Amino acid sequence: MSDSDPVGLVTWLSKKLSDYDLAYLHLMRADFMGEQPLDVVTPAREHYKGHLIVNMGYSPQEAQHVVAEGIADAVAFGVPFIANPDLPRRIKEGAELNQADPKTFYTQAREGYNDYPFLEELAPV
């Protein structure tokens, strides 16, 4: 998806959507192809009065910063969950993350669906 003025579009949408009692606005900070790297999160936060959830390539550390600073109310993780079925535990433990293999995303085979390893059993969380 692309737009000739992504910042203007997000600003307009954020203002309009604030008029509704939505549970949240979920916003990607960039596009998958890297064609629109402009900051759309700042105008969304400025103009949307509800809960803002962002995603797209956040590290656990960056996500923590974004929430702590009020840039967004939450950060969603997509690709990291594909490769890390135990992502919350890995983040909590500071463990290394499995790297996702995009060639296997959403296929009908086992590879890329349920073959990513879990952490070895650690002390109960």
Return the pLDDT at 70: 97
Return the pLDDT at 124: 55
Return the pLDDT at 44: 97
Q: What is the pTM of this model?
A: 0.85
Return the pLDDT at 25: 98
Domain assignments of the chain as residue spans, ordered by start? 6-76, 80-119
Three-state SS for 4-36 is CCHHHHHHHHHHHHCCCCCCCEEEECCCCCCCC
Residues 36-60: tens digit of each pLDDT: 888 999 999 999 999 999 999 999 9
Return the pLDDT at 123: 46
Residues of the chain with pLDDT under 50: 122-123
